[in-house]
Amino acid sequence: MLYRGIPGTDIKVSELSFGNFIFGSFMWGKTADDAPEGIRLQNEAYDLGVNFFDTADAYDNGRAEILMVPTLAYAGRENIIMSTKFGYDFYSDPGTEGSHKERRQDFSPAFLQKALEESLKRLKTDYIDLWQAHNLKLWQMNDDLLHALESLQKAGKIRQWGVALGPAIGWREEGVVALRQWKAPTVQTVFNMLEQHPGREFCEISQQMGRGGIISRVPHSSGILQDIYTPASTFTDHRKYRDRNWLIYGLQKVELLRHIQKSLQCTMAQLAVKWLLTWPSLVSVQPNINTSAELKEFAAACDGHYLTAAQMQEIQNLVETDFGLGSQAHACDLKSSVALSGATPSMYQFGQPTPALPYAFTGNLATAAAGTH
């Protein structure tokens, strides 16, 4: 397992991170009865070199954080980079089990203090390594929030803070403000070979600024890049909310990437991880991990072997032309806080234009990426 420093901080995280929302929430159909297996996988991840674990207070209203306690004890608190999130007031708005309706949010300084203290109690620790604003929107970003985070950092309650964007693909405006204006240490977003925006631009901004690291979630496009679906596949969990074109055309896109996978002698899922790790400002990949086999497969991809500049350019060209499959194969729209419709196409200009060729790939890719280790 290789490790990457979050630029501008003293934190080093494993290239593979373990998000415990699979076993810590209802989103994937897991229940409290599955908790022992979740803990076993967390411990196994640590044994494989994973030191970066990500959860959230809102996952099953605190249960996911509690699920981390045995692993913190197993590994030793000082050996874990513990990340959790804040912003959902599930204390007054617990939500309905199985519902995807967004609950009440609160980013006031007073609520931040309450949320942090409750998270510390559940995790049985006295500090958080990375505390992320959960699904923060543009209109919620203000000086009071920023000052509150800085005060908690000075008090030693949090080492670093970041912004976790979602739940749908987006939001671009928030990520740009977080990186450019707030100088946020991290931004977490949906980012994968098939859904490159806005993650690709965030990586470019971070590289330009020489600070800030990007955490990729949904690195396999909800399973498309794992070779586990057919056109007849159906879903009962959160994937049922995906546009059907995501499945139909996603499977065709995978076949157009097959020759690159074979040339690297890896699985498609490992190619997805390697593609992300080729970005120098990408600090960690956080896939959905359901089994030991998946965990070992993903960990094995974190071996320091990256894609070439030609391979990166080929994949970028395919994405920017919708793989030659027509506009119906275009990646999902992004959530937008400024567009009147609330959404915007996944490729568009805002402020400075994105370079046609990522400048990070004009030299030695392995050397460029290794510089963040």
Q: Which domain holds residue 239?
A: 3-370
Distance of CA 82 to the CA centre of its chain: 15
| pLDDT value of residue 355 | 41
Q: Are 59 and 24 in contact (CB under 8 A)?
A: yes
| pLDDT value of residue 174 | 94
What is the pLDDT of the chain when averaged over all its residues? 90
> For 120-135, what is each residue's pLDDT tens digit?
999 999 999 999 999 9
Which residue type, as a one-letter code, is found at position 49? G
Which residue type, as a one-letter code, is found at position 126? D
Backbone φ/ψ region at 79: left (φ over 0), alpha (ψ -120 to 50), beta: alpha
Which residue type, as a one-letter code, is found at position 83? S
Which token pair is 253? 């896109």
Which token pair is 340? 């009147």
> For 147-164, what is each residue's pLDDT tens digit?
999 999 999 999 999 999
Helices then strands, each counted (H, E), the chain? 12, 12
pLDDT-derived band at 71, boundaries 50, 70, 90: very high
Q: What is the mean pLDDT of residues 37-61?
A: 97
Q: Which of 209-223, 234-248, 355-369 has the lowest mean pLDDT?
A: 355-369
pLDDT-derived band at 101, boundaries 50, 70, 90: confident
Q: What is the mean pLDDT of residues 31-52?
A: 95
Q: Are 138 and 171 in contact (CB under 8 A)?
A: yes
How many folded domains does the chain comprise? 1
Distance of CA 95 to the CA centre of its chain: 24
CATH number, domain at 66? 3.20.20.100
Which residue type, as a one-letter code, is found at position 305? H
| pLDDT value of residue 99 | 65
Give the total residue count for the chain: 373
The answer to whether residue 347 scores a pLDDT higher than 70 is: no
CA–CA distance, 345 with 367 (Å, rounded to integer): 34
The answer to whether residue 358 scores a pLDDT higher than 60 is: no
